[in-house]
Structure formats: structure tokens, C-alpha cells
Structure 1
Amino acid sequence: MKKIKASDYQADAACKLAGLETYEDFGLSDKKLEKRLLKVRRELGDFQDKMYAHGKYAVLVCLQGMDTAGKDSLIREVFKDFNARGVVVHSFKVPTELERKHDHLWRHYIALPSRGKFGVFNRTHYENVLVTRVHPEYILGEFLPDVNKVEDVDDAFWDQRFRQINDFERNLAENGTLIYKFFLHISKEEQRQRLLRRLRLQRKNWKFSPDDLDEREYWDQYKRYYEDAIQRTSKEHAPWFVIPSDSKEGARLIVASILLELLEQYDDIREPELDPEIKAHIEQYRNELRKEG
């Protein structure tokens, strides 16, 4: 199996999704991929413990993808070995009435991870330039001062929104949040098969909505707007990675491996030194505990 390198998946301003594979053939069975993931996620869990003790960085993991791309199961499998206190997952749905009374980034600001913790956004602030771009009429529900009709949601509006997102991420990065953004790239045929599985398996029926079929009609538009968003916002301090995701097991291993590779580059993240006074008496404390036994 080839070595997974972050640079092989990192996107830039010239990213073209049509030229990128949706399936990565590692030449391994799903079971062997899961076994490799087990090792990587344990190392990630150990790193998180160290980062929690260090307390100077936060990590924000952003997951985007078409419906059925595998975001939920990826979160479950990649972060399974984390201490529960060290990771917080937020799944962003349709904005609530309260959220619509604030700017489009407000609900994301208040969900950000504190220093020492991982935050995982399942769908992210990019919904504000994806779903709303496919359905610009949704913007009218934000009650913005200069938007009174769909025609007001023009190119200048999207330019402004992308600038706001880039400013948001730059501010986070400058204040100690490490940002990693992943687009789970699946084929339209793979989505069709996964939707059929939801209908075939009774225990999966609850996941299906007729809206899923309606949104498939906009597949090409979504892909075009995903591509534009990635091109405009993949920065050194907040990179995008395009993950071939027709294989869920492969996608999980790739995401976990990229996170571990990039986080281990921060060699300043280490456990704090023990207080000298305590360190000088460690043997005494050991003896006291041994005597109790």
C-alpha cells in the first residue's frame, strides 16, 4: 500500500473536481483498511491528550460533501479513540429562527473549539456559499438590509461572502486554531447506490428523504459551487483536501492519516513540565502509595 501523504490530496486555486478520482484503490480489503485506521486513530487520540495538556492550540476539522458522502460514519470511526472531553462535534442543519437573527457566521463562532480541544463541523460555514448558492431564495430568509429580492443575490454578494469566510478563518488561525477542511468526493453513481441502500435496509430507512432525490437534480451545480468554494478558500492556514470517498473505509483512513501527519509537525505541542517541587518528591509520593498497599 502506498504511503498516504497530505500533499497528494491538498487542493489549490486551480482545483478541478472533474479531474480528481472518487475512489482510491489501496489494494487492501476493507478489513485491512480498518486495521490500519485503528493504529492511526490511536495515535491521534494520544496526540489529542497531549494537546489538551498543552492547552495553546485548538483544532477545527471541517467536513463537507454531497448527501451520503459518509460524514457521520467518518466522524464516528476517526475520532473513536479520543477522550470524550477532548472533541466536540457540531452538525449544522437548517438555521433556526434565532440563528437567522444573527449574521451567517454567528452560529459557527459560538460552536468553535476551545484551546486544547478538537471541534468537528459536520457540514460547516460553507453551507452559506453552497446550498444558498444553489437556492439563492434562501438568502431572503436572512433578512439582510440590502437583499430584498433574489436578483440582489448577485456576484458581488458572493464575493463579499467569500471574503467574510476567508477573514473568519484567518482570524481563527492567527489566534491558535489549526484548520483542516475535507471535501468527501463521491460519484453520482455511488450516491445512487447509497440512497438505494437506505431504502433497502429497514434500519436505514429513517435516513432517507424525498428531498435527497430532488437535490440530485442539482448535482452539477453543487459540484461547480464546491469547486469554486475550494478554489477561493484553500489557504496555507486553512487548506482544503479533496478525499476520494466512494470507499468509506479508504476515506476514513486518508482523513485520519492527513490529520496525524500535519499535527505531528507542531513539535511545540508537548505535555507541560511537572512543577519542580513535585518532581523532586516523586519517589516520596510513590513510597506513600506503596505503603497503602
Structure 2
Amino acid sequence: MQGQKGKAAGDGTHNTFRSGFAALIGRPNVGKSTLLNAFVGQKIAIMSNRPQTTRNRIHGVLTTDDAQLVFIDTPGLHSPRHKLGEYMVTAAENALKEVDVVLMVTDATENRPDLDKVVIDRLRSVDTPVYLAINKVDAVSKPDVLTFIDTYRKLYPFREIIPISARDGTQLDTLKALILKEMPAGPKYYPDEMLTDHPEQFIIAEVIREKVLRLTREEVPHSVMVEIEQLGRKEGSDVLHIGAVIYTERESQKGILIGKRGDMLKRVGQLARQELEALLGTKIFMELWVKVKKDWRNEPSFLRRFGFDEQE
């Protein structure tokens, strides 16, 4: 993502094309992935009510007639407890240095500035414009929203504070217009039809992982990583064959993921297959396996294999 800020000077026409990058940051579980999906109009980031669902930086692309906005959904800023957590925080912090706009997202149902302190502290070294999106305003009263705005206005010089609901679309057009105003004249980075720059393999693995998050409890969801080992069609077939390995850290977790008579693994596969068939527009045959990789979240070579790097 080098050279993102020094963009070209438009196309010379009367309506200058604008393009740029906006980072979505915030604590885990405030709705950043839901907001990203709402911006691009399709699900490209997995969603869960569990903290730290997003592990990689996910790029969503919104292209209009006169602009292209690239939204970067970052992992939630938190105090890491393992190597994976450290890489996630590094990815989020580095995104702040590479964008034209920073959009901090917080949760209207929790007027708790103390919880957002770790995020706001990291913003103090940012030179780019910072907007605050107060998400989930559909779940609180208007007086509560006004109190929330007043509280956060005193904590940081946000360019603007916008109450939104990523779920029902409240004020999303207003927010997009404000972000667009910050974008310089520049080129189109991605084709019109592209909604994300992540490969199909990444999206498939994330959908499978989302189903594990939905169906399992306690430590199991956080200990899971999915690797796509097979992806393709047999000659003469229109069915997409997916073979995936779900890695976990302990034998007991493997037992939970497989379930009694394989019921849990079948359910994960069924839900993932249904969503991916709708998303990819094709029939799918899916095979899932579960393997144990002890303490993989603290093993740098394993993390690099899945795209995590200290320099991200």
C-alpha cells in the first residue's frame, strides 16, 4: 500500500475523480465489520458478537461515478495476550499511518469512554482527519446519544461526530459524503466490480471461521484458524470443491468442533456451504477436517503462513 497519499492530480475533466483510503478503528465488537459490509453493499467481512473477530486488515472497495473509497477494517485495538494479538494490534496501528481518513467506531449502547481510552490514546499521534461514528444508535434514546456526543467531544478533537446505525443504514450516506470530502484527486485503484482485494480463498476461510464462532463457546472460537487446502472444479463439473482444515489448539477443542457423531462439524459445513453458494453463485461440495496445532497463536512461522507479520 505504498504511495497511497501522494495521489495523481485527477483526470483533467471538470468533475475530478477522487480516491483514497479510510481506516475503521475501534475496540473489538463495536460493529466495524458490519459497517464495512454496509459501505460496500455486500458481506465481505465476517461478523460476530465475539470480540476480536477480525484478525487481518480487510479492504472493502466502494466505487461510484466520481470516486473510489477503499475502507480498511482493522482488528480491534486491545491489550494482546499472545503473538497473534500483538500482530493484530500492529496491523491496526500501521493502518493509521497509511490512510487519508481515520474513522473511529464506538458503541452507543456503552457510554464508557474509559473503554475507548486505548483507541483514543493511539489517535493522538495521528495527523490525518479523525471522525467518530457512534454506532448502534437504533438501540438507544436520542437524549442518550446527545449525552454520548457531549462526552466524547471533550476527549479528542474529532473532525466531526456522526451517530449512525450500520445495521439499519441510519446516517450512512451522510458519513460517506463526509469521508469523500476528505479524499484527494486520484486514480481508480480497483476495477468497478471489485468489492474487496482479498482472494476468494481468504473469503471462504473466513466464512467457515464465522460459523465456528457462531456455533461454539468459551475459548474454542478464539483458538480456531481455517486453511483452504483444496479449491477447484473437476473437469466437466460445475460444482466447486472446497477442502478445508480447521486448526485448534487442544484435543478437547477438537472434540467440541467435531461434536457427537460429527454433528458440529456437519453443521459448520452446512451453514458455510449455504452462505458461500449464495455469495459465489455456484454449487459447492465441502469437506472439513479438524487438526490440533498446539499454541499456534504464539508460533511466528505458523502465523506467517496465514498472512500475519510483525511488520504488517
TM-score (norm 1): 0.34
- Structure with the greater alpha carbon radius of gyration: 1
TM-score (norm 2): 0.32
Q: Higher strand share goes to which structure?
A: 2
